[in-house]
A and B are shown apart, each in its own frame.
Chain A
Amino acid sequence: MNNIRSGTRIACLMLLVCTVAFAAGGETVTYVDGVDAAFPPFSFIDETGEASGFDVEVVRWIADELGFEVEIVPIDWDAIIPTLLTEEIDLIASGMSITAARAERVAFTSSYWSVDLAVVVRETADADGEPVAELNPFTLMGGGRRIGVQRGTTSQTWLEENVVGAGIDVELVLYENFLLALEDLEIGRVDGAVMDAPTASSSISERPVTIAGSIATGEIYGYAVRPQDAELLDLLNEGLRRIQQTDTWDALVQKWLVGS
Chain B
Amino acid sequence: MSDLGSILAVLLDGLGTTCRLLVCSLGLGFVLGLPIGVLHVFGPAPVRVLLRGFDLVMRGFPAIVLLFLLYFGIGGLPGVRLGSFVAAALALGLRGAAYQGQLVRGALGMVPPGQLDAARAVGLSLAGALRAVILPQALRFALPALGNEYSIVLKDTSLAFTVGVLEMMSRAKFLAVSSRRIALVYGAVAILYWVLTQAGLLGVRALERGTRIPGIGADAGGGA
- The answer on direct contact between A and B (beta carbons under 8 Å) is yes
Shortest C-beta distance, A90 to chain B (Å), equals 11
Complex CA gap A45/B176 in Å reads: 11
Contact B31 A47 (CB under 8 A): no
Contact A3 B132 (CB under 8 A): yes
Q: Is the interface of B mostly helix, strand, loop or mixed?
A: helix
Q: Which of A1, A14, A15, A47 contacts B10 (CB 8 A)?
A: A47
Contact B27 A88 (CB under 8 A): no
Contact A14 B30 (CB under 8 A): yes
Q: Which of A22, A76, A82 contacts B24 (CB 8 A)?
A: A22
Contact B24 A38 (CB under 8 A): no
Q: For window 140-181 of chain B, which residues contact chain A by CB distance below 8 Å?
A: 161-164, 166, 170-171, 173-175, 177-180
| Interface-located stretch among A59-67, A136-144, A175-183 | A175-183
Given A45-B178, A47-B10, A183-B182, CB of A76 within 8 Å of CB of B27: no
Please, what's the 1-or-0 string for A49-84, where 1 marks a CB less than 8 Å from any CB in chain B?
100000000000000000000000111100100110
Contact B132 A88 (CB under 8 A): no
A48 on the B face (CB < 8 A): yes
| Interface-located stretch among B38-46, B78-86, B100-108 | B78-86
B97 on the A face (CB < 8 A): no
Complex CA gap A49/B170 in Å reads: 11
Q: Count A-side interface residues using an 8 Å CB cutoff.
A: 38
Shortest C-beta distance, A203 to chain B (Å), equals 9
> B6 — nearest CB in chain A belongs to which residue?
A47
Please, what's the 1-or-0 string for B54-78, where 1 marks a CB less than 8 Å from any CB in chain A?
0000000000000000011001100
- Residues in B neighbouring A48, C-beta threshold 8 A: 6, 10
Contact B163 A21 (CB under 8 A): no
Contact B179 A83 (CB under 8 A): no
Complex CA gap A179/B136 in Å reads: 53
Complex CA gap A7/B72 in Å reads: 37
> A18 — nearest CB in chain B belongs to which residue?
B27
- Residues in B neighbouring A86, C-beta threshold 8 A: 71-72, 75-76, 80-82
Contact B175 A47 (CB under 8 A): yes
- Residues in A neighbouring B81, C-beta threshold 8 A: 86-88
Shortest C-beta distance, A209 to chain B (Å), equals 13
Shortest C-beta distance, A45 to chain B (Å), equals 5
B13 on the A face (CB < 8 A): yes
> A86 — nearest CB in chain B belongs to which residue?
B75
- Residues in B neighbouring A88, C-beta threshold 8 A: 75, 81-84, 164
Q: Which of B27, B86, B177 contacts A180 (CB 8 A)?
A: B177
Q: Which of A11, A38, A85 contacts B31 (CB 8 A)?
A: A11
Shortest C-beta distance, B207 to chain A (Å), equals 11
Interface set of A (CB-CB < 8 Å, partner B): 1, 3-4, 7, 11, 14-15, 17-18, 21-22, 24-25, 37-38, 44-49, 73-76, 79, 82-83, 85-88, 176-177, 179-180, 183, 206
Interface set of B (CB-CB < 8 Å, partner A): 6, 10, 13, 17, 20, 23-24, 27-28, 30-31, 34, 71-72, 75-76, 80-86, 89, 131-133, 135-136, 161-164, 166, 170-171, 173-175, 177-180, 182
